[in-house]
């Protein structure tokens, strides 16, 4: 069972994916961490993030099974990830690991930008989780303020718009909803509501698959 979850930054897909994986007892891969790791390693070594050949080299040398998650969180790491993710050599270097992860038993949940469209086009369930840029910026601002970080809503909104534009506008595996994905707009839903909606979609898919097998 492969569950593919795509959507823009800050829509809540990571939280949803982790909860779904725990609920069904499936493996979970946050694919954004792979791109974050490439960006982080390049920045740490003073390499040019906009050079596709160098970025591809770093991505091929990455050991995706050992990612230091702590240092990869945060807005700056996300921004670097989005920049290196435009390079085709980076994307192709990370495909095999993601596809091997996706077929782990009894199932896997992967979240990212291109899971339903490029990495796992045959995924059993595809969800496209989104919310308006304003709602995502408000949530992120509140989250950071709650952690004691004094951030400005307008600045966060501008960053979110810029990231959306880069992730959706790139030529290689851009962010877009797969034709057979189910849209989950979280603008007016809390985490619990999003989770329940996703469970209903997945359970219905599983029941349908069981009917077809019988």
Element (H, E) at 109: strand 108-112
**For residue 201, how many other CB atoms are within 10 A of its CB?**
16
Q: Enumerate residues 6+ apart whose C-beta is below 8 A from 185.
A: 130, 131
Pick out residues in 22-61 that bind ligand DC (CB under 6 A): 31-32, 35-36
Binding flags for ligand DC, 84-103, as an x/- string (CB under 6 A): -x------------------
Q: Is 78 in the site for ligand DC (CB under 6 A)?
A: yes
Q: With respect to ligand DC, which residue has the nearer C-beta, 78 or 89?
A: 78
Token pair belonging to 59: 């991505």
Q: With respect to ligand DC, which residue has the nearer C-beta, 168 or 204?
A: 168
The residue from 107, 112, 116, 133 that contacts ligand DC (CB under 6 A) is 112
Applying CB under 6 A, the span of 74-82, 120-128, 183-191, 203-211 interacting with ligand DC comes to 74-82
Q: Is 3 in the site for ligand DC (CB under 6 A)?
A: no
Applying CB under 6 A, the span of 107-115, 121-129, 153-161, 192-200 interacting with ligand DC comes to 107-115
Q: Give the length of the chain.
A: 214
Q: With respect to ligand DC, which residue has the nearer C-beta, 32 or 64?
A: 32
The residue from 133, 167, 178, 198 that contacts ligand DC (CB under 6 A) is 167
Contacts of 100-104 with CB under 8 Å at 24 or more apart are: 101/27, 101/29, 102/2, 102/29, 103/2, 104/27
Element (H, E) at 84: helix 75-84
Instruction: Name 5's bridge partners.
Output: 111, 127
First to last CA, the chain: 17
Q: Is 62 in the site for ligand DC (CB under 6 A)?
A: no
Contacts to ligand DC by CB under 6 A: 9, 31-32, 35-36, 78, 81-82, 85, 112-114, 163, 167
């Amino acid at each position: 069972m492969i569950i593919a979850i795509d959507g823009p930054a800050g829509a809540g897909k990571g939280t949803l994916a982790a909860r779904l994986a725990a609920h069904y007892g499936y493996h979970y891969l946050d694919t954004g961490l792979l791109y974050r790791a490439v960006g982080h390693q390049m920045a740490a070594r003073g390499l040019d993030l906009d050079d596709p050949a160098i970025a591809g080299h770093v991505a091929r040398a990455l050991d995706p099974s050992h990612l230091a998650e702590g240092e990869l969180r945060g807005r700056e790491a996300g921004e670097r990830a989005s920049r290196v993710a435009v390079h085709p050599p980076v994307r192709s270097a990370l495909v095999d690991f993601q596809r091997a992860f996706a077929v782990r038993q009894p199932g896997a949940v992967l979240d990212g930008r291109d899971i339903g469209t490029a990495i796992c086009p045959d995924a059993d369930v595809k969800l496209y989780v989104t919310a308006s840029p304003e709602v995502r910026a408000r949530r992120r601002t509140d989250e950071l303020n709650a952690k004691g970080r004094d951030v400005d809503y307008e600045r966060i909104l501008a960053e979110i718009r810029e990231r959306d534009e880069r992730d959706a506008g790139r030529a290689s595996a851009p962010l877009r909803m797969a034709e057979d994905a189910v849209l989950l707009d979280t603008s007016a839903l809390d985490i619990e509501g999003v989770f329940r909606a996703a469970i209903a979609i997945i359970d219905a898919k599983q029941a349908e698959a069981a009917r077809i097998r019988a």
